[in-house]
Structure 1
């Protein structure tokens, strides 16, 4: 979970090699958890379419009483001691962005998805053999009315609305209701693995206590991250009984689950479900998938990469809102650092990893144990035999995060942990002269990084600081002070009725990118201007006209994880090595044309639900095929004026095209070479992040198609298993 267990253990942590943990299942591997502050500081990715599956009918009453069995006791279960039920924040005011002027979007409604449960369990050793692959998807947890443009939006979104949901009054949105499931069923067929209602799509990463997988929930056809933890690893990692001060992984995980299942905030990663069969060897955590990964990774810091001040302000406001919510519910995070701040494709950031968190009765209790990552520990935590309060240490760590985002380095560094503790406690904060910042920002950093916790700025004052509020134009209101109808962003203290995001729209750097090239090319309707699998050496900016984006129906493209690429080089093409060709879950699993036997009504109903999901997926995939007008391709999107095509190839090591581009009309484009792109994004830091978000959203289209194709391909086997099943 990324914390130092005690001051006595700090030296051991400093010497240990870094290891990546898969934490919080956010579709990317968790941050490096043990971080010594050496001379090289090392702190340490459009909503996905959802297909509706009919709700399973209520289970029939049992004909006779079942034999008495002991009540299952999930591993993680226990009293939510000290953690009050959080007061739900009033829903924020809608932030309706005006659609592009040349689009005539149809309106799409959404409704909350019904609750469903997973069922039975069958342990399988092949689960442990899944490894090394990559995947990304666009995910948005907002269940609200939205506008879908006719051009430039995902064709998948429009097809979902027009065909799959034609009989529904509402399009389903994500189900944020937390569930606990004590039974687990695993099925394998045609290289696909089903874990309860989840189809395992890709392996994402490995940590000290488990693995993280990207999964498709067949009940709502949205992508989630599933963290699979081996219970024996947690239990065998427990320290000796005699006076050991090391962290207990089992207790850390219990605490993390306890906190995450109760904390519901738009800037905190959501825990959707915990699957724990008492008789099984795995504990599964299903979480919101954050496709953008950490806002700043270890690799990015090693290259001294940093964020522009305006972007850091946007991220910092999200971080402040989440931390204020935690503190308002008497929770101290305990391990704030850039690697635990994760980004969605929309650009929104959320806090994750609550393994070092603490819950208090009042929130002001004293702590003795030193938890956290060394480079982000507050000075008062470093003194021998110290007692400290948790909230001020969170403020200090958040200030250290902001410093790191702005300057691309941690506030203090030293060759070893002992010297780091001395430097943090005694030396003043220094600001690199090569990175100019405003006086307001310098004042904020100084007050957050104050040595004396009694003099350090508090959360209420922090939320009113001139830099954070842009001279009090956009103050944030503390969570505990909200009235009905208010949010931390929208309240009676906001002037003009606009949120921070609405009043400060992101500048469009794509137009500027088009201006770096004067080389125009004109294509006619039906022309193929890029082919999937070809090597890409340029991208095109669409000046006028519309193009179709096609992918192969049988052979879906293998892609480098955009969270890794974008974070590894913050938008510099070809920065991160791709995974091994063909590496993925499919090759690690036994191929089979049969499914596990249906043994009771519950397992039969589970299979029925899978069949319905595969049927819907098949209908949807075939509609994309019909739109493409060929038997081998799927039409997944259209691009129009002001958009890029071909940039995804330039951000992968292989430089291979991930899709075919066909002209739907006469198209005028500007040709931008690889060298021109690199030069432009290096000169315009914000352009890197805009291109990064564009790529994440486009990858979501291909990701979702690949998952749906996998589900479609097993429809015949699922149907056959039902036909052969006995009646109950």
Structure 2
């Protein structure tokens, strides 16, 4: 008997997901917080690069380039520098009624501190109280997300050499997060943008701090990519759940479909909790070995991000680099 995972996703997401073998519905774990919070705190109403406080008057606002449950993203141009940016307008009343303002503040806090070539930068945060909105000014990536990159490639999947190049970059970004005490919790193809073969991780709406040995409790993210322990709503390790999501992404990149078989989301998620997936005959033994390590049902037996980065399929051409932007020492919050 399949598991019932409640939730919803947009019609656009349904159409795209169907192309990869994901039936409609059941994409997001819904959460609702009823506690009232103030809006974006004063410390976030400024350019995170340390310059003066910005306003929407500093930007030319163009066409809509994306839309989600909580937000609408428009192309923007900074009037003075002429820099193209993505303007993410977040509807605060919807945030407060769903994921909660605390999580939104955490997203801003985490994203503003990141400095990595494979993570889209957050330039500034602008409060728009009269519209009950906050605008996140984010690095604009001129390209497709990874899902469309796969689907638009001849054959509907990526050659292993290209998949390896992309996956290495994603692993570097996730390793950077984990080394700084951050777990993403919503790794998926749609959250990776590709521009001229450079991958950028975006959207930190479910990111959280973690400490080794401490468990998280709140199931969140996109269920098709979620680890069995997250689907079962048990305590889980955020970093190990991230590695499972990486495994689902890698399988999709080299195979052109998700690992789970089934005629409905519930059937597919049931297969995920049991680790029922097939090896890919066309893939190398090396990448199949990596998939086995990432898609291990037992979190204890699953690879960690260091194991993934040091795997021969990933590390063969991976040039180790030291990235700047160390995080400030702060209390690590484990929040449901």
TM-score, structure 2 as length reference: 0.80
Residue in structure 2 matched with residue 65 of structure 1 by the alignment: none
Aligned residue among 303, 313, 316 for 2:164: 313
Which has more radius of gyration?
Answer: 1
Change (3 A) 1:252 1:413: farther
Q: Identify unmatched segments of 5+ residues in structure 2.
A: 28-36, 324-336
Residue in structure 1 matched with residue 226 of structure 2 by the alignment: 377
Aligned residue among 80, 84, 87 for 1:219: 80
Pair 1:395-2:256 in alignment: no
Change (3 A) 1:215 1:308: same
Q: Secondary structure at the match of 2:283?
A: coil
Pair 1:202-2:166 in alignment: no
Residue in structure 1 matched with residue 310 of structure 2 by the alignment: 464
**CA root-mean-square deviation:** 3.4
Pair 1:177-2:21 in alignment: no
Change (3 A) 1:456 1:463: same
Residue in structure 1 matched with residue 198 of structure 2 by the alignment: 348
Residue in structure 2 matched with residue 254 of structure 1 by the alignment: 105
Q: Secondary structure at the match of 2:204?
A: coil
Tell whether the 8 Å contact from 1:277 to 1:283 is kept in structure 2 after alignment: yes
Q: Identify unmatched segments of 5+ residues in structure 1.
A: 1-7, 21-31, 45-72, 81-116, 119-175, 185-194, 239-246, 478-485, 489-728
Change (3 A) 1:33 1:196: farther
Residue in structure 1 matched with residue 332 of structure 2 by the alignment: none
Residue in structure 2 matched with residue 263 of structure 1 by the alignment: 114
Residue in structure 2 matched with residue 429 of structure 1 by the alignment: 277
Residue in structure 1 matched with residue 32 of structure 2 by the alignment: none
Pair 1:357-2:207 in alignment: yes
Pair 1:41-2:22 in alignment: yes
Distance 2:52 2:271 in 1: 46
CA displacement at 1:395 relative to structure 2: 0.6
Deviations 1:243-287 (A, max 9, x none): xxxx42534422221111111111111110101144553311111
The answer to which structure has the higher helix fraction is 2
Q: Secondary structure at the match of 2:268?
A: helix
Distance 2:52 2:223 in 1: 35
Deviations 1:366-396 (A, max 9, x none): 0122112111111222225x11111111011
CA displacement at 1:39 relative to structure 2: 9.4
Change (3 A) 1:421 1:205: closer
Tell whether the 8 Å contact from 1:39 to 1:413 is kept in structure 2 after alignment: no
Name the count of aligned residue pairs.
310
Distance 2:273 2:216 in 1: 18
CA displacement at 1:12 relative to structure 2: 3.0
Deviations 1:598-623 (A, max 9, x none): xxxxxxxxxxxxxxxxxxxxxxxxxx
Q: Secondary structure at the match of 2:156?
A: coil
Residue in structure 1 matched with residue 328 of structure 2 by the alignment: none
TM-score, structure 1 as length reference: 0.39
Residue in structure 2 matched with residue 408 of structure 1 by the alignment: 256
Tell whether the 8 Å contact from 1:37 to 1:375 is kept in structure 2 after alignment: no
Distance 1:296 1:36 in 2: 9
Distance 2:14 2:241 in 1: 18
Distance 1:307 1:377 in 2: 22
Distance 2:59 2:319 in 1: 38
CA displacement at 1:412 relative to structure 2: 0.8
Change (3 A) 1:221 1:79: closer
Deviations 1:2-38 (A, max 9, x none): xxxxxx9x6332xx45345xxxxxxxxxxx3999899
Residue in structure 2 matched with residue 281 of structure 1 by the alignment: 132
Runs of 4+ in 1 over 6 A off after TM superposition: 33-39
Distance 1:468 1:374 in 2: 26
Tell whether the 8 Å contact from 1:366 to 1:389 is kept in structure 2 after alignment: yes
CA displacement at 1:429 relative to structure 2: 2.8
Aligned residue among 296, 299, 318 for 1:453: 299
Distance 2:124 2:99 in 1: 23
Pair 1:442-2:323 in alignment: no
Distance 1:202 1:179 in 2: 27
CA displacement at 1:432 relative to structure 2: 4.0
CA displacement at 1:413 relative to structure 2: 3.1
Pair 1:300-2:151 in alignment: yes
Distance 2:128 2:254 in 1: 45
CA displacement at 1:232 relative to structure 2: 3.5
